[in-house]
Amino acid sequence: MDRCKLYVITGETYHPNRGLLEVMESAILGGADLVQLRDKDAPARELLEKARALRELTRRYGVPLIVNDHPEVALAADADGVHLGQEDAPIAAARELLGPDRLIGISTHSIEQARAAERAGADYIGVGPVFPTATKPGRTAVTTSFVAEAAAEIRIPFFAIGGIHPGNAAEVLAAGAKRLCAVSAVVGNPDPGAVCREMRSLIERSERAASPEDAAVRERAKEVTVNGVLRTTEAGTLLELAAEFGLADKNAVAEHNGEVARKAYWPFLPLKDGDRIEFVHFVGGG
Ligand SMILES: Cc1ncc(COP(=O)(O)OP(=O)(O)O)c(N)n1
Ligand SMILES: Cc1ncsc1CCOP(=O)(O)O
Ligand SMILES: [Mg+2]
């Protein structure tokens, strides 16, 4: 979760002529590193089907998947977690259902709600809507002043959300956000990947301007290509990288710079900048 910087939420009404998976794959290839399934209209069965399809896609790219509003769907689809609003199920109830390892995110609209979410054990919070947005019509914008308050005080990761696009992302980052979240700007664009690339490069530019401590962490990080997608990782070995993708204890094989890497060697295979890795994960022992 800590490494996630660009959270993209589904919004199928914004792309009536393109499929959900095609749009979200483009976003992932552009650098979306956390995905949420949000569908306020789908009946339960359809929502679960979409969650399972997105689970398969996101797993292929090592991207965590969150389901909006429905902890039971998150569990049934083996998603990484659930996102809850202030009027949704309380954190404790979701935690009981999902256990300690899955993620629980909460929407917050004030610093008091952000403090309460942190105390209640949320893994991350949404801070917004920062700007007015057609995706949540009628909601008062919290402005970048709440972003600044959260940056000064909240220790769990927070994602600024609401009306954010490449044209105003720098302002949100300057207010103290390290992570951004978007629906319409990404999925409503004919090229979701290009929008994600722009947003990622704004995030990276803002990180470069940040503290020397962060610079040291970045120095340890390396850029590798995993299943065709450029990723930044601090993993030192192939096994540590596989763990980031949830594959360390799965039936999987890897190719490392074109050579088959047997799983027994993963702990001893050091990763370096520019490495190319392909993971193949077998489901159901096949
Ligand atoms: C990351 C993130 N932040 C906020 C929300 C909004 O959740 P909620 O307030 O429950 O509203 P709905 O999305 O359910 O309409 C979110 N989904 N994700
Ligand atoms: C779900 C949600 N919660 C707060 S703002 C928002 C909508 C974000 O969508 P967009 O990026 O299109 O403004
Ligand atoms: Mg909700």
How many Å apart are CA 23 and CA 191, to the nearest integer? 8
Using the mean position of ligand 2's atoms as its centre, give its distance from the Cα of residue 128 in Å.
Answer: 8
User: Both 146 and 250 in a single domain?
Assistant: no
Structure tokens at 1: 């979760």
- Across 141-228, the runs of DSSP E, i.e. the strands, are 158-161, 180-182, 222-226
User: Both 16 and 69 in a single domain?
Assistant: yes
Nearest to 79 by CA among 53, 61, 115: 53
What's the domain count of the chain?
Answer: 2
Q: Is 2 annotated as a binding residue?
A: no
Q: Is 133 annotated as a binding residue?
A: yes
219 exposed, middle or buried (CB, 10 Å; 0-12, 13-18, 19+)? exposed
Q: Which pLDDT value is given to residue 215?
A: 61
User: Both 73 and 200 in a single domain?
Assistant: yes
188 lines ligand 2 (CB under 6 A): no
Neighbours of ion ligand 3 (CB under 5 A): 69, 85, 88
User: Both 131 and 252 in a single domain?
Assistant: no
- The reply to whether 201 belongs to the active site is no
- Closest ligand relative to 69 C-alpha: 3
3-state secondary structure string across 197-221:
HHHHHHHHHHHHCCCHHHHHHHHHC
User: Both 232 and 145 in a single domain?
Assistant: no
Nearest to 174 by CA among 145, 154, 197: 145
Q: Which pLDDT value is given to residue 196?
A: 96
User: Both 65 and 169 in a single domain?
Assistant: yes
Using the mean position of ligand 3's atoms as its centre, give its distance from the Cα of residue 137 in Å.
Answer: 14
Q: What is the CATH number of the domain that holds 208?
A: 3.20.20.70
pTM: 0.81
Domain containing 225: what range? 221-285
Structure tokens at 87: 């009027």
Instruction: Provide the edge-to-edge strand list for the sheet that holds 259-261.
Output: 229-233, 222-226, 276-281, 252-256, 259-261
Domain assignment present for 1? no
User: Both 165 and 240 in a single domain?
Assistant: no
pLDDT, one tens digit for every residue, the chain (286 residues): 788 999 999 999 999 999 999 999 999 999 999 999 999 999 999 999 999 999 999 998 889 999 999 999 999 999 999 999 999 989 999 999 999 999 999 999 999 999 999 999 999 999 999 999 999 999 999 999 999 999 999 999 999 999 999 999 999 999 999 999 999 999 999 999 999 999 999 999 898 887 666 666 666 788 899 998 888 888 889 999 999 888 888 888 899 999 998 888 898 888 998 999 999 877 764 4
- The reply to whether 38 belongs to the active site is yes
Q: What is the CATH number of the domain that holds 247?
A: 3.10.20.30
How many Å apart are CA 254 and CA 211, to the nearest integer? 36
Domain assignment present for 153? yes
Distances in Å between the alpha carbon of 159 and those of 104, 133, 178, 229, 241?
13, 16, 7, 23, 24
- Closest ligand relative to 107 C-alpha: 1
Q: Is 113 annotated as a binding residue?
A: no
